[in-house]
Structure 1
Amino acid sequence: MKKINLLQITLLILPWLTVPFLGRSSFKKYVPSAIFICTVTAALDLFGERKKWWRFYKGMSYVKSMNFFNWGPYFVSSLWMLKMTYGKFPLYIISNTILHICFIYLGGLTLLNRYKIASLVKLTKFQYLVIDFIRAIILYGFQCITNNTKKLSNE
């Protein structure tokens, strides 16, 4: 098996090993929002690729390498971020921004490029940070809507 394929499988599976530590109720509470934001991200990935904002390399078979990243670490980190900070919006924004700054400026993007997963083309790191910030707001907003809908249906 090629080194790249092993990395992609690891990116997909390793984060999921932490999911049992979330707890069943937290998983059930936050999984709709995580699915939603990963779906939005997949659509954004396609749009951004057409606009040449970034490039995603071919993964295994016909699956783009970014799907391994999107449905692995990004999905699971969305669950964990909501579990640890939901209901505390300032903490959520600060933590999420720090996480994205670390990923973008301290080596995450470099690793994605080195291992042929993705690379920025026409987008600067700061522009990518702004996109990540907007996605964070969308994730939190969707969770608020989901919570309010559940509260209304229980009344």
Structure 2
Amino acid sequence: MPNTVASKRVHVAVGVIYNPHGQILIARRHDDAHQGGLWEFPGGKVESGETVCNALARELHEELGIVVHTSSCTQLLEIRHDYTDKVVLLDVWKVLEFDGEARGKEGQPLRWIKPKTLTKYAFPAANTAIIDAILKPRDSSFSSH
């Protein structure tokens, strides 16, 4: 039987969205969803032929009703996570500028929180690296890209 597990790959654009007060937006996953009840950084699947930043802008508009200024997006990190049924690549980007007021268009609760309080919320295990990158920026994050 062919190995279909390795062939199922999901590329996900994830947004670490900052407001002008330096707070970050988090959303709570629906209880009946995979990893339900945990908090997450909003985002969604990258479609074929789409850039990650464009996918992120589309997903954040669909989920939150905001219009992302794609020129303000900078890559934070990539995380590959192997599940038993699929391989997920989390492509995580900082979003510093957007228009509109974020609201949970899919009924998901949202919170704007200070970065230092991220560790007080329960996130999926794969998000630990994202939180670490937010709280402990590397020197390379100050480079020109």
User: TM-score, normalized by length of structure 2?
Assistant: 0.28
Q: Which has the higher helix share?
A: 1
User: TM-score, normalized by length of structure 1?
Assistant: 0.27
- Higher radius of gyration, 1 or 2: 1
